[in-house]
Chain A
Amino acid sequence: MLNSEKIRLMTRMASFDEVEGKKDLAVNGYFRGDYISLQVLKSAIYGTIGFAVVLALYVLYNLETFLSDFYKMDLMAFAKDWLTKYVIVLLIYLLISYFVYAFRFSRSKRRIRAYQQQLKKLHQIYEEENERRR
């Protein structure tokens, strides 16, 4: 016999599994701190790439001055200047990503909790079915 309540529940769970579920279950494998630090680390890599591109654009833009004044320039001051800019930009970027991913973690935890409730209910239905069969 088909149990329509069970089918409905399983359909809902399967459709969750297919879309958000995959990501949420992956997120669920981490502790909160681990997940957020991993994502912030990824952000740091992306941010560094972005900053490197900006620096490359800047250098290309001023290439003529660089070529002519290369030996006159204070390279240490130049490096220091850009390093401070890099640190400031990266810190802001990482702060934003910390908040974003902390929010996303708690959101997917909430969805997982709902999913676990459904699992529990499904388990109950199975138990009932087994009882009846006996």
Chain B
Amino acid sequence: MTNILVIKEQIIKYYARFEIYITPVLKFLVMLISLIAINANVGYMTKLKNPAIVLIIALLSSFLPVNVMIVLAALVIVAHMYALSMSCAAVVGLVFLIMFVLYFRFTPKEAIAVLITPICFVLKIPYLVPLAMGFLGGPLSCISVACGTIAFYIMHNVKKSSEQMGGGEGVENALTGFRYVIDTIIKDRTMILLTIAFCITIVVVYLIRRLRVNYSWYIALGFGAVVNILVILIGAVSTDADVSAIGVIFGTIISAGLVLVLQFFIHNLDYSRTEYVQFEDDEYYYYVKAIPKISMEAPQNKVRRINPQQTPLASRRNHSIDDE
């Protein structure tokens, strides 16, 4: 255990020191993976599949704010849809617009959750996201996770029925294409079920983790996992959604395991980073680089007794005095 703790401290120390370089690299990787996944699933516009363009967008993202990354990813998806058919691009664009209206109003800081959710879907561990966001975020994280989930299912559904969506030219065809796209995208039961289940899981995990009881984190994780499985299974049975029971159960258990690892790194930890600030007073200009100190000690609970009690040693001494 001590070894793992030491490794954890080392990682955190390095992160704190090289935060300036690590964050852009991580952003680059997230955007690169997102773009590759988008191209693999709905890459209808061949120009955007050019590796050079993918690299340029990913490199740009490494120093752009995360929210701009989301807008870029959404634009890439809409462009691909446009190559497939006009009506498809219109529907997807409008659905994205609705999501952005909600998202930018309430949780503009959780951009990374929106990007990570579809990636986790591609990696087949989508249940990691609601469990983790219950710990990292608050009840409003529902919105960002829901946006990510819906974005993934839009791509998934378009890929599944791209032939019918392609449609021909002409107003008549465009209209039927439009209806078809809306039907396949918005009326997907699995998408609606998973979105609702994820929101419930996030709220349950959040509420339990905030309770002032020992091990609230572990209780929250266990409860969240059970609630996630139950809601999805019951929902799947009652709505005929296309979900495999074994996949849900094992996926949730694996995700819970991953959250345990994650929890080890985030619990009770202030990820303060190296800061560069400048200010001045009457005599000096200050250019300060503030590096956070990281303590090796685990936080300990001190028990303060209000009524003074005899220590066992003292009482034994009293006994021996009595004996004499």
Residues of A within 8 A of B (CB): 2, 6-7, 10-11, 13-15, 18, 42-43, 46-47, 49-50, 53-54, 56-57, 60-61, 63-64, 97, 100
Does B279 sit within 8 A of A, measured CB to CB? yes
Q: Is B102 an interface residue (CB 8 A)?
A: yes
Considering the chains assembled together, what is the distance between the CA atoms of A49 and B281 in angstroms? 48
Contact B279 A50 (CB under 8 A): no
Bound-complex Cα distance A43 to B179 (A): 30
Complex Cα spacing A53 to B100, Å? 12
Q: Chain B 265-281 against A: per-residue CB contact (8 Å), 1 yes, 0 no? A: 00000000001011101
Q: How large is the interface on B (under 10, 10 to 19, 20 to 34, 35 or more residues)?
A: 20 to 34
Nearest first, the 8 A-B pairs at minimum CB distance are: A14-B277, A50-B101, A14-B279, A15-B275, A11-B288, A46-B101, A46-B105, A50-B98
List 29 contacting pairs A-B, 8 Å CB cutoff, sorted by A: A2-B284, A7-B288, A10-B279, A11-B275, A11-B277, A14-B279, A15-B275, A43-B105, A46-B101, A46-B105, A49-B97, A49-B101, A50-B98, A50-B102, A53-B94, A53-B97, A53-B98, A53-B101, A56-B94, A57-B94, A57-B182, A60-B178, A61-B182, A63-B175, A64-B175, A97-B105, A97-B106, A100-B106, A100-B140
> Which residue of chain B lies nearest to A15 when distances are taken between CB atoms in the complex?
B275
A contact patch SS: helix
Distance of A2 Cα from B283 Cα, bound (Å): 9
Shortest C-beta distance, B31 to chain A (Å), equals: 23
Q: Measured between C-beta atoms, what is the minimum distance from A69 to chain B in Å?
A: 15
Contact call B98/A54, Cβ cutoff below 8 A = yes
